[in-house]
Amino acid sequence: MPGLGWGADYNPEQWPEHVWAEDVELMRRAGVNLVSVGIFSWAKIEVSKGEYRFGWLDRVLDLLHAGGIRVDLATATAAPPPWLTTAYPEMLPVRADGVRLSHGSRQAYCPSSPIYRDRATALAAEMASHYRDHPALAAWHVGNEYACHVKRCYCDTCAASFRDWLSSRYTLDQLNDAWSTAFWSQGYTDWSQILPPRVTPTFSNPGHVLDYDRFSDDAILELYKAERDVLKMITPDVPVTTNFMVNWTFGALDYWKWAREVDFVSNDHYTESQSPDRHVELAMSADLVRGLAGGEPWLLMEHSTSAVNWQPRNIAKLPGEMRRHSFQHIARGADGALFFQWRQSRGGGERYHSAMVPHAGTDTKVYREVCQVGAELGQLTGVAGSTVDAPVAILYDFQSGWALQQDAHPTQDFDYFKHVFGYYKALWESGVTVDFVAPGTNLSAYSMVVVPAFHAVSDAHAAVVADYVAGGGHVVVTYLSGVADEHLRIRLGGYPGAFRDVLGVWSEEFFPLRQGETVSLSDGSTVSLWTEHLHVRTADIVASYVDGPLPGVPAVTRNAFGNGVAWYVACDLDGSGLRRTVENALSGAGVPVSAQRIEHSGIELVRRKGDVSWLFAVNHTDTDAQIEASGVDVLSGAQVSGRLTVRAGDVVVLREEV
C-alpha cells in the first residue's frame, strides 16, 4: 500500500448486484482504499464439489479496481458450506462432551480433518490460479480468526493426530513423567490409551490439558500453512496474512509462533464496550500486536465503527470515539485501520453489528465520521512504514495464560490478561511506551522488563530473565511466576521456583484472599486477591503486610543481582500501589516518567519514527488539554511552537521538529 489502509471486510454477496456500484462510490467518498473480500464466500464460489463460480466475484473485483480500491482477497475457507459438511459429517468438530457440532453458523470444521484440509487447499489453489494476475489483488487473507469458535476438537481423528504429536515429542515413559501420571493411577502403557482431554469425572491432568492446547494450536497452524504454501506456489510475490485476535480475551493461539508464518501481521480488535478502560486495553493490544510483528508495521484488519453484536451489552461508540480508536492503532504501529464490515448486514447473525455504512444509511454520525477519518488518513501517507520505540517491555506468554485458566488453582479469581493489563495500565498512565516480547527473547535492548505471572516456565526461558538482570537489567516479576515448569510440575524448594535466586526470596505458602477481602501494606497500598508467605534471602523489603493473614511478612521486595535489579511483587496491588511500585522501578531503571503523565494531561502520546518523527496526541477526556510540543499539525496545517492544545476528545498528529 502506498499509504495507510482504510476500509473494511466487504461482503457483496449479501447484497443484490445493483448495490455494488453504489458501494464503490460510497467507498471512494469515504477514502476507502483497501477491502477484504470473500472471507465467507465459500458457498457462493464452490457451489458443489469442484464446481467453481467466479463470475460474480470477478465483477466485484473489477468494480473495486476501477474505483482504485485494492483487495485483501480471502481464500474463502473460513466457513465450509452445508453441501460439504452434509457429504462429510465427520469433518465437523466434536466438543469435550462428545457432542458433534452442526453447520449453521461458521468455522464448523475439525482442525485435523483431512477432508476440510483437502477442500480448503483446493479452493485456495483455485482462487490463486484465478486471481493471480488481477490488478486489485494486494494480499491473501487465509481463514478468519482461526480458533475464534473452535480451538479444541475432541474427535477420534484429533485423538489419533494428538498421539502422533505426542509420540514425536516423548517416549511413553517421558510422557508419564511429564504429565505426572502416577497421580490418580493415570499411567499409560500404550499410546492407544491416550485420549483428548474429554469430559471426565473431575479435574483433568494439567500436563495433558496444556499439551492438548499446544497440539490444537499446532494443528490449526498447520491448516493455515497448508493454504499459505499453496498460495506461495502460485503467487509467490503476493503477501499472505491471517487475522489474529489479540484483545482482552487474551489469545487462544500462541501468536508468537504464528507471527513467524505470516508475511505481515494483521489483527482484529474489538473493545470491551462496557469497560471504562477500553481505550487503554486497545493500546495494550496494539502494542502486543506490534510485538508480534517484531516492531514492524502491522495492519488492523478489523475493528468496529460503533456497537458490536456479541457482547452482553453492545454499547454504541460516542461521537469521536471511533476516530480516536483508529488513530490509537495507527499511533502504535498499524499501517491501516479496517473494519468489520463495510455495509451493515440486513440479515444473519451479525445484523446488529455496526459497519461503515449503517442500516440508516449515509446521513449518519457513523458514515460522516468514517468519511472524516478516511480523509485525514489520506493526509498521513508519510506515516506508513515508520516504527515505534519503547524503553520498557512486558514479557507476554500465551501458554502461561492457558495454564492459569485451568481449574484447581489456588484461586479462581486470577485472570492472566487482567493481571498483565494492571501493569500495562500503570505504565500507560505514566506515559511510558511499552513493547511486548516473547519468552526467551533477548531483553538487553530494554531498560526495564515486567514479567507478569510467567507461570509455566522452562529452565532456558528462566535463564534468559536471570541473565538479563545479571547483565544490568531491571525486572519486575509478579506472583505466580516461576512456580511450575513447562509441564505444570511445581518447582520444589519454595515458590517462585525458577526465579528464587534472581529475586533473592522464597515463599513457603500461598495465601489467596477471600472474595472482597483486602489487606493493607506498610506503604499505604491495598491488596486484594493474592498474598503469600514470603521470606527474603538477599532482597530488601520494600513493603510488608500490616494486617490480614500475614502481618509483618514482606509483600514487595527489591534485590540487587549481578549488575541489575529484580523486584518481586508477591501480592495483587491496587491501582495506586501498582503505579507507585512501577514508577519506583522505572526511576531505578533510569526511565523518565513522562512529565506529561496521562493522568495529569489526559493525553495519550505516542511517537512513530521514520525519516521524520510523528507525534500522535489523543485526548481521551472531555476537557481541552495542553502539552509541550513543536512541529506542524498535519491535519490542520498549523505551525505549533512549544505549546500544543489538544481539544477534548480530539486527536492531533504533529510532524515534529527534531
Three-state SS for 553?
coil
Binding string to Zn ion for residues 87 to 126, with x set by CB under 5 A, is what?
-----------------------x-x--------------
Q: Is 413 helix (H, G, I), strand (E, B) or coil?
A: coil
What is the CB-side half-sphere exposure of residue 95 using CA atoms within 13 A? 6
With respect to Zn ion, which residue has the nearer C-beta, 98 or 319?
98
Q: What is the CA radius of gyration of the chain?
A: 26
Draw the binding track, 342-371, toward Zn ion (x: CB under 5 A; -: no contact).
------------------------------
Whose Cβ is closer to ligand GLA: residue 39's or residue 582's?
Answer: 39
Residue nearer to Zn ion on the CB measure, 157 or 372: 157
CB 39 within 8 A of CB 144: yes
**Part in contact with Zn ion (CB under 5 A); list of ranges 146-154, 400-408, 633-641, 646-654:** 146-154
Any alpha helices (H) in 30-155, and if so which ranges? 42-45, 55-66, 82-87, 114-131
Helix (H, G, I), strand (E, B) or coil at 637: coil
Nearest residue (CB) to ligand GLA, 90 versus 350: 350
Q: Binding residue per annotation — 155?
A: yes
Considering the complex, state which of residue 108 and residue 570 has its C-beta at the smaller distance from Zn ion.
108
Check: CB of residue 496 under 8 Å from CB of residue 503: yes
- Interaction of residue 350 with ligand GLA, rule CB under 6 A: yes
Q: Where does residue 622 rank: exposed (0-12), middle (13-18), buried (19+ CB within 10 A)?
A: exposed
For residue 212, state whether it binds ligand GLA (rule: CB under 6 A).
no
Give the one entry of ligand GLA, Zn ion, none that residue 155 binds, where binding means its C-beta sits below a cut-off of 5 to 8 angstroms depending on kind. Zn ion
Residues 6+ apart with CB under 8 A from 187: 176, 181
Question: How many residues sit close enough to ligand GLA to count as binding (CB under 6 A)?
Answer: 9
What is the grid cell recorded at 147?
480458533
Question: Nearest distance from residue 231's CB to ligand GLA, in Å?
Answer: 20
| DSSP 8-state secondary structure symbol assigned to residue 484 | B
Write phi, then psi, for 391 (nearest 5 degrees).
-85, -15
Q: Confirm if 91 and 120 have CB atoms less than 8 A apart.
A: no
User: Which parts of 99-158 interact with ligand GLA (CB under 6 A)?
Assistant: 144-145
Cα 559-565-570 angle, rounded to 5 deg: 55
Q: Which does 323 bind (CB under 5 to 8 A by kind): ligand GLA, Zn ion, none?
A: none
User: Which residues in the 245-274 window bind ligand GLA by CB under 6 A?
Assistant: 268, 270
Would you call 528 helix, strand, or coil by DSSP? strand
158 near Zn ion, judged by CB under 5 A: yes
Q: Please give the helix or strand (H or E) that residue 561 lies within, else none.
A: strand 554-561
- The whole-angstrom distance between residue 478's C-alpha and the CA centroid of its chain comes to 21
The minimum distance between CB 18 and ligand GLA, in angstroms, equals 25
110 assigned ligand-binding residue: yes
Cell 480475551 -> residue: 249
Q: Is 13 in the site for ligand GLA (CB under 6 A)?
A: no
CB-wise, 268 or 376, nearer to ligand GLA?
A: 268
For residue 478, give the C-alpha cell: 509478579
Is there binding between residue 153 and Zn ion (CB under 5 A)?
A: yes
Strands of the sheet with 572-573, listed across from one edge: 518-520, 526-528, 572-573
310 is in an annotated binding site: yes
Q: For the segment 275-314, give every residue that binds ligand GLA (CB under 6 A).
A: 302, 308
Enumerate the active-site residues.
145, 302
Annotated binding residue 571: no
Q: Is 148 annotated as a binding residue?
A: no
Cite the annotated binding site for substrate by residue number: 106, 144, 310
Q: Which positions lie near Zn ion, rule CB under 5 A?
A: 110, 112, 153, 155, 157-158
Q: Which positions lie near ligand GLA, rule CB under 6 A?
A: 144-145, 268, 270, 302, 308, 340, 350, 353
